[in-house]
Structure 1
C-alpha cells in the first residue's frame, strides 16, 4: 500500500480529522485504478496460472461531499515594528529648532561671505602683483633706454671731441705750414731780394693796335745777383716777348747765401703785365 504526502502552504485551512481519513481512502483507490489502466495501455497482460484459492478484493466506494471552494485568505498587514513604549522620543522645541536653523543659515552666509572675501582678496593681490610686474618691466625698459641714451650721448661727445681735436690738429698743422711758408718766403726774399727792376717798354705796334696782355719770363739769378738765361713762357704774346726779355736782363738781385757762400737761384719767374692806361 502506497501513501501520498502533500505539503500544504502556510495559511491553508486545515479540515477536520474525519474528512482527512475519507479523502485519503479516495485518493488511494483512484491511484490503484490509474495504475492498472496504465499497465493495460502499455500492453501488459496478466499471466494466467492455475486457479488457486480465489481471493476476493472488496472495494467500497465512498461518496464524499463536494468540498467548499477554498477562498484565498486576505493577506494580513505586516505587523508594525515593536516600539519600546518605555523609551519616549525627545520633544523638540520649535523655537530652539528655529534658532538652530537661523544660526546654521547665519553661519553658512558668514562662510560664504568669507569665501567671497578671500576670492576678492586673492584677485586683488593678483592684480597688485601684475601691476607691480608691469611697473618693474617699465622701470627696466626706462633704465635700458637711459643707459642707451647715455651711451649714445657719450659716443656723440667722444665723436665731437675727436672732430674738435682733428680740427685743432688741422688748424695747428695749417698754422705751422703757413708759418713755414712765411719763413721760407722770408728766407728766400732775404736771400735774393730784387735790388733793381725796371718796367719794360710798351711795344708801339701793340699800343697802336690796342693790344694788352701778360708775359712771364723765367731766369736764374747767379751769385753776383745778375740774370742768366732768360726765357719767355708760352703765355707771352709775340709782341711782348722782346721787351720782356730786355727788361728781365736789367734786373739786379741780392745773391743767395748758403753756408756763407753765394749760390745760384734757378727758375726764378717774373710776369710782366701790359696795360694801356
Structure 2
C-alpha cells in the first residue's frame, strides 16, 4: 500500500508537470496535494515497516518529536489544500467568466504558501506542547507512531490543561478548513440549482465529485481516529483506526482523482507511453 500510494501520487505530479494542458490552478493544487500525501504517509509507514521487520520498536525522544511535527505538518497541509481546492471549484462554478482573472498565478502561489504556513503553525504548536511534557524513564506507547493524544496519557505531569489546549487547537485548525469547504459548497449548490438545464447541473456537480469524495474520506477517517482515542479504552482499536487514516487516505486519493478525470487519464497514459518508449 505504501508503494502504491507513493507511485500513484508521484505519477499524478509527473503527469501534471509534463502536460501543458494541465498547467491550470486546479491541477496545480492537485499536484501539491499529491506531494503532501507522499509526505504524510512517509512520516509514519516506513518507520512502522522497519519496526515490524526488526522487532525493535524503539524510537528516540528527538525522533518522536520529529515524527509528530511532520505528521501534523502534512496532515494540516492536506486539510488546507482541500479548502483551497474547494475555493477553486467555487470560483470555477460561481464565477466562470472571471476564473482566470481571480485565480491568477500570483494568487495560486499565495494560496499554496498560506497552506504551508497553516500546516507549519499547527505542527509547531503541537511540537511545542510535547516538548513541555515530562516523561518518567522509558515510555511504552501502544501505537505505531508518536501521536500526541497517546503521549499525553504517559506524561508524568498533570495533562488536563494540555488536553484542553490540544482540543482547542484541533477545533481551530480543523474547523477553519471545514467551515470554508462547507461555505464554498453551499454557494456552489445554490449556484448550480439556478442552472436551468439538467445537463448543465449534472456537469457542474460532476466536477466536484472527486474533491467531495476525498474530503469525506479525509475528514471522516480523521474524526474517527480522534473519537476513538476519546471514547475507546482499547489502544489496539485506536491503532487500527489510525492505520486507515494514515494509509488508506493517501493511497486512495490518486485513484479517486484519476479514475473520474479524463484529462488526468490522458496525461498519465501519455507519460507512461513516453517512459516505455524511452
Q: Determine if the TM-score, normalized by the shorter chain, exceeds 0.5.
A: no
Question: Which bin holds the TM-score, normalised by the shorter protein?
Answer: under 0.3
Q: Which has the higher strand share?
A: 1
Q: Which has the higher helix share?
A: 2
Structure having the higher Rg: 1
TM-score (norm 1): 0.16
TM-score (norm 2): 0.16
